[in-house]
């Protein structure tokens, strides 16, 4: 299969859980526009600001409401994006993290039961500590340093044990717009710069960020396949959180003085931070038969080369929020395929 050819339709109706998160929000937009009336997204019951056609209020751990949704829509596939990922909140309230990230997955599995439902579940690179040199492979044992990572790792095991026909994807930072303007990595960093407030990002937490445009097409390919098991789904470019902020600062044309950096160990004990959690996604690429990932950012001249790179503003290369939206929120190479 070529990444540039039209992809097969997923089994419909499709349920996408957790559309308040960046991955779920962008996936819902992508599939809802392609299959109107056949795609339902869920958000938490108390998130009243996120509303609209085909959006249902449902806490993933609410067994009765989840069962009513399945009875009403008879879902043929599920893209499971739900998860509480605020690191500090999870550390301060482990039960909240467990209820959403583990009990919620358990409830989803109970609701699906033995039905012929295609299930794709999103996990995260933070199931690893990042104490080494990164490049994690699927067989590397998880060793999370946060409650968030521990609960996500536990959810992986639930799904792999009870739904061997499901696919579990460990993703890194999904790069796209968020539902509330500050939930995503780009949104949060940009919101600080827009308000002329400082943003401090760690130079020693390293990730493999991925355009949501690439992820959406990957989801469609997997939903329409029988691929099962655990796979890493990080992008090919490795960047520290500080480097990501450098990109946002320079491409967005913001004041470089508002970007600060430090080691993750200087930030305090709560929440604990992972180090180099970069993932090797070659196994997924191999079994797919094509590479779904472009690097983020796409263009090499948008990649920091040193600590003060964001302060350099070459003549004729002035950044702006419009340019940021064009090349960081969206993958310019995919064009209409991502729309």
The predicted pLDDT at position 140 comes to: 98
Please give the span between the terminal C-alpha atoms of the chain, in angstroms, as a whole number. Answer: 20
The predicted pLDDT at position 120 comes to: 98
Give me the mean pLDDT over the 180-205 stretch. Answer: 93
How does pLDDT run across 210-225, given as a tens digit for each residue? 999 999 999 999 999 9
* Mean pLDDT of all residues belonging to the chain: 94
Q: Binning pLDDT at 50, 70 and 90, where does residue 2 land?
A: low
Give me the mean pLDDT over the 16-24 stretch. Answer: 96
> Angle at CA 136, nearest 5°, toward 135 and 139?
145
How does pLDDT run across 264-280, given as a tens digit for each residue? 999 878 899 999 999 99
Q: Binning pLDDT at 50, 70 and 90, where does residue 337 land?
A: confident
The predicted pLDDT at position 324 comes to: 97
The answer to whether 244 touches 201, Cβ cutoff 8 Å, is yes
Give me the mean pLDDT over the 42-47 stretch. Answer: 94
The predicted pLDDT at position 334 comes to: 87
Q: Round to whole Å and give the CA distance between 24 and 337.
A: 18
Q: Binning pLDDT at 50, 70 and 90, where does residue 84 land?
A: confident
How does pLDDT run across 273-321, given as a tens digit for each residue? 999 999 999 999 999 999 999 999 999 999 999 999 999 988 777 899 9
How does pLDDT run across 231-252, given as a tens digit for each residue? 999 999 999 999 999 999 999 9
- pLDDT for 336 beyond 70: yes
Q: Binning pLDDT at 50, 70 and 90, where does residue 1 land?
A: low
Among candidates 50, 66, 105, 111, which has minimal Cα distance to 82? 105
Domains, the chain, with CATH or none? 14-330 (3.40.50.720)
- pLDDT for 92 beyond 80: yes
Among candidates 142, 156, 67, which has minimal Cα distance to 111? 67
Q: Round to whole Å and give the CA distance between 266 and 305.
A: 24
Give me the mean pLDDT over the 171-196 stretch. Answer: 93
- pLDDT for 181 beyond 90: no
How does pLDDT run across 115-160, given as a tens digit for each residue? 999 999 999 999 999 999 999 999 999 999 999 999 999 999 999 9
The predicted pLDDT at position 85 comes to: 77
The percentage of residues in the chain with a pLDDT greater than 90, rounded to a whole number, is 88
The predicted pLDDT at position 253 comes to: 96
In order, the DSSP letters of 103-162 are IHHHHHHHHHTTS--EEEEEEEGGGS---S---B-TTSPP--SSHHHHHHHHHHHHHHHH
């Amino acid at each position: 299969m070529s990444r540039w050819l039209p992809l097969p339709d997923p089994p419909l109706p499709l349920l996408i859980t957790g559309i308040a998160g960046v991955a779920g929000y962008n996936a819902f937009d992508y599939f809802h526009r392609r299959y109107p009336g056949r795609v339902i997204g869920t958000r938490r019951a108390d998130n009243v600001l996120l509303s609209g056609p085909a959006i249902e209020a449902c806490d993933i751990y609410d067994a009765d409401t989840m069962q009513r949704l399945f009875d009403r829509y008879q879902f043929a596939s599920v893209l499971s994006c739900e998860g509480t990922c605020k690191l500090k909140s999870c550390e301060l309230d482990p039960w909240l993290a467990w209820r959403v990230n583990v009990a919620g997955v358990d409830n989803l599995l109970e609701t699906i039961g033995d039905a012929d439902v295609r299930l794709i579940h999103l996990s995260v690179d933070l199931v690893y500590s990042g104490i080494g040199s990164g490049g994690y492979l699927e067989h590397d044992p998880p060793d999370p340093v946060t409650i968030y990572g521990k609960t996500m790792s536990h959810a992986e095991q639930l799904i792999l044990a009870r739904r061997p026909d499901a696919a579990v994807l460990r993703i890194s930072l999904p790069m796209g717009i968020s539902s509330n303007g500050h939930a995503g990595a780009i949104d949060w960093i940009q919101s600080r710069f827009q308000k002329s407030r400082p943003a401090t990002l760690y130079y020693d937490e390293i990730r493999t960020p991925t355009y949501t445009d690439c992820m959406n097409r990957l989801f469609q390919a997997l939903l329409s396949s029988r691929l099962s098991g655990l796979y890493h789904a990080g992008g090919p470019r490795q960047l520290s959180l500080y480097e990501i902020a450098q990109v946002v600062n320079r491409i967005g044309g913001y004041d470089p003085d508002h970007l600060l950096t430090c080691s993750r160990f200087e930030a305090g004990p709560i929440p604990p931070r992972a180090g180099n959690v970069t993932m090797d996604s070659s196994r997924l690429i191999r079994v797919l038969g094509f590479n779904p990932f472009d690097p983020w950012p796409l263009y090499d001249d948008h990649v920091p080369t040193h600590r003060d790179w964001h302060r350099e503003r070459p003549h004729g290369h002035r950044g702006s929020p419009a340019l940021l939206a064009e090349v960081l929120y969206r993958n310019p190479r995919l064009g209409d395929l991502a729309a």
